[in-house]
Amino acid sequence: MAGLRIKKVWVDRRVETNGLTRQLLDRLAGQPVEIVDSVEAVRRFIRLHPDPVGEGKQHLFITSQPSFIRPCPCTPGCLGCGYWTIDLDLNCPFDCSYCILQDYLNLQPLTVAVNRDELCSELEVFFRQKPSGIIRIGTGELADSLALDQLTGNSVFLMEIFRDRPGCWLELKSKAGLPPALLQVRPADNLVLAWSLNPQVVIDSEEKGTAGLEERLAAAAWAVTHGYRVGFHFDPILHYPGWRLDYERVVESIFRLVPVEAIAWVSLGSLRFPPGLLPLARRRFPQSRIYEHEFTRSAEGKYRYPRPLRQWLYNQLADMFAGFGAEDRLYLCMETVEVWQEFSAKIKRGRRNFTFPFPWQC
């Protein structure tokens, strides 16, 4: 568990005797442990620290979740991609300067849910009642899907539940390396292992604690060699002097290691953030320059790069992927209909053999 630093383990009294709780405590043997009635006890402790967000990333709370599955809310005014989320873990041990969880999950410790029986029951209902067509669902919305995997073993556990559910594609999205456990099992056809990518210069300055670019790409290459499909997320794309060359090198590196056919999808999303993140991020990452840019405030209240710039960034990335015959793997995350319309006209022109139609591509 490279990079994982846990100062204390807090156990929700309701799950004290749960089998997975006992396993987690065995794996974390030697750490101080306290049994508490609710997350409020952990929050009271974290709140006393000068950097409660950073402190929360070093306290592990073992608990149960009341429910797990929900449609991704996307953003009002944007075109959704029909994604669903499983909120199994909450928060992340990594510390990215742009991470919206700093604002959304303020005072939330690293949280692991152990009531897997309830998750399985909820998934059974979901599989029975899911909308027709292909569903994409993932655990990477409120957490990094693989950051705690060597502790929880969630990746293999979830893959086995999704195995032989052909209409449901499970995505595990991460900035960590590849958990060895995934190389010891037979890959499921409908599992996509996805890595968020940025140039190494951005990783160095903005993505504290995460695996480097080479390690993420090597993980993807290993996964493909083992028979997994992979995905990539360029999100957030950052605009700075020299960005184009840096991103071009990342795209070239992908295709040096991973064949187009193994890539399920690639998302593009530019930097955006709610107003509440700005003072937090400026205080926590005073050296970061990513907020020193022109932004416009969109109807739903988030700050974004101006639309012509976003459109230009996406078109540039589309051209880079077109150079490898892969522009038809692209889609946009949390973008407006207008930006989508111009972008989809561009990628449709290049579309060839992609057999996974997103709703907006049909």
Sign of the torsion angle spanned by Cα atoms 206, 209, 212, 216: negative
**AA letter at 306:** P
- Alpha helices by DSSP H, listed for 190-240, are 200-206, 213-226
- Do residues 287 and 254 make contact, with C-beta atoms less than 8 angstroms apart? no
- Do residues 93 and 147 make contact, with C-beta atoms less than 8 angstroms apart? yes
Phi, psi of 317 (to 5 degrees): -65, -40
Which residue's CB is nearer to ligand SF4, number 95 or number 149? Answer: 95
Total residues contacting ligand SF4 by CB under 6 A comes to 9
Residue 1 burial (C-beta neighbours within 10 Å; 0-12, 13-18, 19+): middle
Residues 66-105 within binding reach of ligand SF4 (CB under 6 A): 92, 94-96, 99, 101
- Do residues 257 and 220 make contact, with C-beta atoms less than 8 angstroms apart? yes
What is the smallest separation between the CB atom of 67 and ligand SF4, expressed in angstroms? 21
Residues 288-327 within binding reach of ligand SF4 (CB under 6 A): none
Which residue's CB is nearer to ligand SF4, number 28 or number 96? Answer: 96
**AA letter at 187:** P
Angle at 270 between CA 96 and CA 357, to 5 degrees: 115
What is the smallest separation between the CB atom of 74 and ligand SF4, expressed in angstroms? 17
Which residue's CB is nearer to ligand SF4, number 62 or number 92? Answer: 92
What is the smallest separation between the CB atom of 291 and ligand SF4, expressed in angstroms? 15
How far apart are alpha carbons 292 and 278 in whole angstroms?
11
Which residue's CB is nearer to ligand SF4, number 235 or number 327? Answer: 235
What is the smallest separation between the CB atom of 164 and ligand SF4, expressed in angstroms? 30
Instruction: Return the residue of 6, 86, 115, 144 that touches ligand SF4, per CB under 6 A.
Output: 144
Q: x/- binding map, residues 103-142, to ligand SF4, per CB under 6 A?
A: ----------------------------------------
Which residue's CB is nearer to ligand SF4, number 96 or number 326? Answer: 96
Question: With binding defined as CB under 6 A, does residue 194 bind ligand SF4?
Answer: no
DSSP string, 92-151: -SSEETT-THHHHTTTPPEEEE--HHHHHHHHHHHHHHPPSS-EEEES-SSS-TTTTHHH
Which residue's CB is nearer to ligand SF4, number 99 or number 281? Answer: 99
How far apart are alpha carbons 141 and 72 in whole angstroms?
8
What is the smallest separation between the CB atom of 61 and ligand SF4, expressed in angstroms? 16
Which residue's CB is nearer to ligand SF4, number 101 or number 330? Answer: 101
Which residue's CB is nearer to ligand SF4, number 152 or number 210? Answer: 210
What is the smallest separation between the CB atom of 255 and ligand SF4, expressed in angstroms? 24
What is the smallest separation between the CB atom of 144 and ligand SF4, expressed in angstroms? 4
How far apart are alpha carbons 181 and 178 in whole angstroms?
8
Instruction: Return the residue of 175, 272, 302, 310 that touches ligand SF4, per CB under 6 A.
Output: 175
How far apart are alpha carbons 221 and 230 in whole angstroms?
9
Which residues sit at the interface with ligand SF4, rule CB under 6 A?
92, 94-96, 99, 101, 144, 175, 210
